[in-house]
Structure 1
Amino acid sequence: SMAKQNVTLGRFHLEGIPAAPRGIPQIEVTFDIDVNGIVNVSAKDLATNKEQKITITSSSGLSSEDIDNMVRDAEKFADEDRMAKETAEARNEGDSMVYQAEKAIKDFEEKIDADLIDKLRDAKEELANALAGEDTELIKSKTEAATAALYEVTAKAYEQNPPGDDSGEASADGVYDADFDVADEGEK
């Protein structure tokens, strides 16, 4: 909804980005405006280095009076725009947390205490309900609660099965896993 007052100056598509889980792709977008009012826009997928560019000249159909009016409107509505941005960011964080919570429930449901999973499930549902409304502060607080519940679940999962739990004991085939340091010949 923040883009509704924008004027389309040009379009391009960034194609060939491989499918990835939500939140993983990283797209770098650059806007350069030169002294003649020419806008160069580029978008680059950081994983594949695929890039698209577009150059927009001043023939956008806007008069200098139109541009001046738009600048005044932008200054006039800066607070509303800031609040809209804050709401959009809170919603994005909330949506991301719902996704992460669903994934954690699926991954750990059979592995850790049902009470912790239920707590995370409840926090996720409360967050989803908050996201259905318009209260930004409620979305933020429910996101924080879901984040805390998610941390509890993941901490318990790692506590029960710590990464790199190699104690140096022999496996069934008599092979030992151990940590060691290589010393220089002069240190022997």
Structure 2
Amino acid sequence: DAGLRASDITEVILVGGQTRMPKVQQAVAEFFGKEPRKDVNPDEAVALGAAIQGGVLAGDVKDVLLLDVTPLSLGIETLGGVFTKIIEKNTTIPTKASQVFSTAEDNQSAVTVHVLQGEREQARYNKSLAKFDLSGIEPAPRGLPQVEVSFDIDANGILHVSAKDKKTNKEQKVEIKAGSGLSDDEIQRMVADAEANREEDKKFHELVQARNQADGLIHATRSAITEHGSKVGGDVIGKVESALADLETAMKGDDKGQIEAKTKALEEAGQSLYAAAAAGEQQPSGNAGGAHASSASSDDV
């Protein structure tokens, strides 16, 4: 997580009574390529550390800086059930981070912010911390509204999450008390679970990306039909509509390759639509092409 190699570590200190075991010391030496220090009592180190932390929290010790970290990543659920991380695990606190998101549907007036903690790509496998709505978003085509989601962890470990519509400045906030309710064993289990399911999560992420790309293309193509449909012949529109239906059917399944293939087919059909529309616009009004374009226009609402 720190982006360091074992050879980058200059000193190794063992803490805790079990580190007195020769096998443990041997394993550490082999991993780091250097012997751990022997001048620090592993039992006393734990006791002294606890005492110093207690003194800092009580306000009696002021000249020692204690750096705590987030044990698991924090983020929100985004389109397709993806867990989008905003603060990565092992980030030193206090810390702040934010990302800008948008709407998934046209004229969407509210968004739900689902705050999660964990390491899995699939949101449903992470721990839910809070859920709240930001409403009052002005009607607009999807992708245009900008909603800034901010995470702020203070020195006491309290998480403050806010969602703000950057156009209207409307904002909703939630405060999550320090401590996720997870034990050290549960945290380690979640980290191990994410590692064990790395390949599954990678495939899930790729499938969601394919679906989202296909969904965006479908939306853009329908808008193109509305805008240019009156300028092209029915055979072109028919091919585009057929490709649209095929892609929508493919999106209901879990075959990424099929979705990508149908997406490419719709892209090609869409290019034909734009080419036909451009050709129709360039035809002089007095020739047969112009008469045909005029006739096509009168048939559309």
- TM-score interval, normalised by the smaller of the two chains: 0.7 to 0.9
TM-score normalised by structure 2 residue count: 0.48
Q: How does 1:1-188 map to 2 (within 5 A)?
A: 1=81, 2-33=122-153, 37-161=157-281
The residue aligned with 1:183 is: none
Q: For 1:83 and 1:105, how far apart are their aligned partners in 2?
A: 33
CA change 1:72–1:89 in 2 (3 A) is same
CA change 1:79–1:58 in 2 (3 A) is farther
Question: What amino acid does structure 2 have at the position aligned with 1:137?
Answer: G
Question: What amino acid does structure 2 have at the position aligned with 1:11?
Answer: K
Question: What amino acid does structure 2 have at the position aligned with 1:80?
Answer: E
* Structure of higher CA gyration radius: 2
Higher relative contact order (CA 8 A, sep 6+): 1
Q: For 2:144 and 2:161, how far apart are their aligned partners in 1?
A: 22
CA change 1:29–1:85 in 2 (3 A) is farther
CA change 1:36–1:46 in 2 (3 A) is same
CA change 1:68–1:36 in 2 (3 A) is farther
Question: What amino acid does structure 2 have at the position aligned with 1:48?
Answer: T
Q: For 1:39 and 1:85, how far apart are their aligned partners in 2?
A: 27
**Contact 2:134 / 2:163 at 8 angstroms: preserved in 1?**
yes
Give the secondary structure class of the aligned counterpart of 1:133.
Answer: coil
Question: What displacement does 1:87 show?
Answer: 0.9
CA change 1:148–1:135 in 2 (3 A) is same
Of 41-50 and 130-139, more deviation after overlay is shown by 41-50
**Contact 2:231 / 2:281 at 8 angstroms: preserved in 1?**
no
CA change 1:159–1:43 in 2 (3 A) is farther
Question: What amino acid does structure 2 have at the position aligned with 1:100?
Answer: A
Structure 1 residue runs of 5 or longer lacking an equivalent are 163-188
Q: For 2:204 and 2:153, how far apart are their aligned partners in 1?
A: 25
For residues 41-94 of structure 1, the C-alpha deviation after alignment (integer angstroms, 9 at most, x for no partner) is 332333333333333232332222212211121222122112111111211221
Q: For 1:82 and 1:34, how far apart are their aligned partners in 2?
A: 32
RMSD (Å), alpha carbons: 2.4
**Contact 1:105 / 1:121 at 8 angstroms: preserved in 2?**
no
Question: What displacement does 1:131 show?
Answer: 1.1
Question: What displacement does 1:15 show?
Answer: 1.6
Which is richer in strand? 2
Q: For 1:36 and 1:140, how far apart are their aligned partners in 2?
A: 47
TM-score normalised by structure 1 residue count: 0.72
**Contact 1:87 / 1:136 at 8 angstroms: preserved in 2?**
yes
Identity of aligned residues (%): 43
CA change 1:82–1:34 in 2 (3 A) is farther
For residues 10-69 of structure 1, the C-alpha deviation after alignment (integer angstroms, 9 at most, x for no partner) is 222212112223333333333344565443333233333333333323233222221221
CA change 1:32–1:154 in 2 (3 A) is farther
